[in-house]
């Protein structure tokens, strides 16, 4: 059985470090693909099986929801969550409207774990 693969997208290297550290700690056998922006994420996920997406909202170029919408075309049944500092109601509503989870930053073990649990 192929490894569960997570796509982690955040323009902050440190944030990616923190998220991947938690994933490695909680799910040591999972494969992690990192990207620093929307375009890189799409490139990196081409022709791959992605089982979970963790996406920052505020990024240069495409924002997190635009990316999620694009990814949903290739991975319609993959669970996705925003992990973001942008905690406005409107962002939350937009995410829910396209079936994307909304998780607030700061990045903590509990918050990341709750996203990982989306993959049954």
Partner 1 sequence: MNKLNELQQDILTEAFNLGMGSAAASLSEIVRSEISLSVPNLTFIDKHTAAERLSQNTDSDLSGVSEGFTGPFCGKALLLFPAEQSLELVRLMLQDSVPLESLTAFEEEALNEIGNIILNAGLGSLADMFGSRIETEIPTYTHGSTKEIFEAQNSANSLHDVVLFLQVDFLIKESDINGFVVYLLDVDSMKDLTNLLDVYLSKIS
Q: End-to-end alpha-carbon separation of the chain, Å? A: 15
Q: 11: which DSSP letter? A: S
Shortest reach from residue 62's CB to partner 1, in Å: 12
The one segment of 44-52, 67-75, 80-88, 95-103 that binds partner 1 by CB under 8 A: 80-88
The one segment of 27-35, 46-54, 58-66, 74-82 that binds partner 1 by CB under 8 A: 58-66
Which positions from 9 to 48 touch partner 1 by CB under 8 A, shown as an x/- string? --xxxxx-xx--x---------------------------
What ranges in the chain are assigned the alpha helix state H? 13-26, 38-45, 64-74, 89-97, 109-116
Identify whether the C-beta of residue 54 lies closer than 8 Å to the C-beta of residue 32: no
Question: What is the C-alpha to C-alpha distance for residues 68 and 100, in angstroms, rounded to an integer?
Answer: 8
Note the residues at the interface with partner 1 (CB under 8 A): 11-15, 17-18, 21, 58-60, 84-91, 105-106
């Amino acid at each position: 059985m192929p490894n569960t693969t997570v796509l982690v997208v955040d323009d902050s290297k440190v944030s990616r470090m923190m998220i991947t550290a938690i994933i490695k700690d909680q799910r040591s056998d999972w494969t992690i693909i990192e990207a620093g922006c929307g375009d890189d994420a799409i490139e990196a996920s081409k022709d791959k099986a992605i089982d979970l997406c963790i996406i920052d909202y505020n990024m240069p170029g495409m924002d997190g929801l635009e990316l999620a919408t694009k990814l949903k075309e290739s991975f319609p049944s993959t669970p996705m969550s925003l992990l973001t500092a942008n905690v406005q109601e409107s962002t939350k509503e937009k995410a829910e409207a396209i079936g994307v989870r909304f998780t607030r930053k700061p990045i903590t073990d509990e918050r990341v774990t709750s996203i990982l649990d989306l993959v049954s």
